[in-house]
Amino acid sequence: MANISDVAKLSGLSKTTVSRVINNHPYVSDKKRELVLKAMKELGYTPNPSARRLRGQLTTTIGVIVPKIVNPFFASLVNSIELAAYKKGHQVLISQSNEDKEKELAFLNLLKTKQVDGIIMTSIENDWEMIEAYSKYGSILLCNDYVDQEVVPMIRLDQTKGAYLGAKHLIERGHQKIAYCTGGLFDEHGKGKDRNQGFQKALSEVGMKINPKWIFVDQHTVEDGKQVMKQILEMDDRPTAIFTGSDEVAGGIIIEAKEQHLTIPNDLAIIGFDDQPIAEIVDPKLTTIRQPVDQMGEKSIEVMIEMLENREMKIKNYELPIELIIRQST
């Protein structure tokens, strides 16, 4: 592999001049620039990023951490981030934490060691205090997930509003008995609390209260959805509608409901979250709350690059629109 010295030798110039050409510095005569460029091409030269990193400064590489890449929501989010970054000349390194605190920290270590300029976190597993320690080594941006204090730039959606819209929609369809199914917990402070709030707000506006038996926490997959449906079927007092935190879970509920010969939405109305491809695959098609994945990716990269160019940037949060998509399941 050719290095900068080889290029210098072949072009008959110094390493410094070559370096200047590589980095588009001024004060290089056009003639010599040509010479260098020619030599670079001839040798198939690529600057060695490890050396550049070691030396300091930028890597034009951005890390993205997702909990699970097999989750279609995160796959499409990663996709949109990657495309946006590529347009701006940045490479993207992806890693999945598998919801494991250790792995999350291992990936953040890339910052410490300057392998990436910044990291976009789409989920956060450790306490913020843990993660904050890494922010002095590089830029951290939260996209999708978030923390309560305004201590780091965040790209987020008004989850409260999204859940509110969904719940209200069910109420307007005449439902009085609505179950709630979340990937997080159902309390004031845990994961997914915004959605909880939005949901409860819609209910309390019309004087409704949720039956605690109809709350399902920590549900993520199609399989989880099927299990939820089975549990509901065994209840004496069944809900007539289900609000879920993911299209996957909603899809599972629909599949199992049909298996049990329930008619949707007549016997049971279901609403999803995310507007993933599965929403249009299941039959009946899923009413859901759309998260604007493409915008999230683009905004993340935009803000990340801004952060990199200006390390002392003021911390700002960005909120993207969230929207109810009505299909056949409600």
Partner DNA sequence: TTGTATGCGTTATCAG
Partner DNA sequence: CTGATAACGCATACAA
Distance separating alpha carbons of residues 106 and 109, to the nearest angstrom: 5
Q: Smallest gap, in angstroms, from Cβ of residue 291 to its own copies? A: 15
CA nearest to 214, candidates 185, 192, 235: 235
Which lies closer to DNA via its Cβ, residue 49 or residue 277?
A: 49
Which lies closer to its own copies via its Cβ, residue 113 or residue 231?
A: 113
Task: Give me the DSSP letters along 88-102.
Answer: TT-EEEEEE-TT-HH
127 near its own copies (CB under 8 A): no
For DNA (CB under 7 A), the number of binding residues is 30
Asked if residues 141 and 152 have their Cβ atoms less than 8 Å apart, the reply is: yes
Which lies closer to its own copies via its Cβ, residue 88 or residue 316?
A: 88
What letter represents residue 245's amino acid?
A: G
Q: SS3 for 87?
A: helix
Q: Which of 52, 238, 258, 327 binds DNA (CB under 7 A)?
A: 52
96 near its own copies (CB under 8 A): yes
Q: Smallest gap, in angstroms, from Cβ of residue 78 to its own copies? A: 6
Which entry of DNA, its own copies, none binds 277, CB below 5 to 8 A by partner kind? its own copies
What letter represents residue 57's amino acid?
A: Q
List Cα–Cα distances, 232 to 236, 290, 322, in angstroms.
9, 26, 29
Which entry of DNA, its own copies, none binds 83, CB below 5 to 8 A by partner kind? its own copies
Which lies closer to DNA via its Cβ, residue 31 or residue 314?
A: 31
The beta-strand segments (E) located in the chain are 61-66, 91-96, 118-121, 139-143, 154-157, 178-181, 215-216, 241-244, 269-271, 288-290, 317-320, 323-325
Asked if residues 74 and 122 have their Cβ atoms less than 8 Å apart, the reply is: yes
CA nearest to 265, candidates 295, 290, 286, 293: 286
Which span sits near DNA by CB under 7 A: 7-15, 66-74, 235-243, 281-289?
Answer: 7-15
Which lies closer to its own copies via its Cβ, residue 106 or residue 315?
A: 106
91 near its own copies (CB under 8 A): yes
Which residues are near its own copies by CB under 8 A? 1, 46-51, 53-54, 68-70, 72, 75-76, 78-79, 82-83, 86, 91-96, 98, 103, 106, 109, 112-115, 137, 222, 251, 255, 258, 277-278, 280-283
Which residues are near DNA by CB under 7 A? 1, 3-5, 13-20, 22-23, 26-29, 31-32, 45-48, 51-52, 54-57
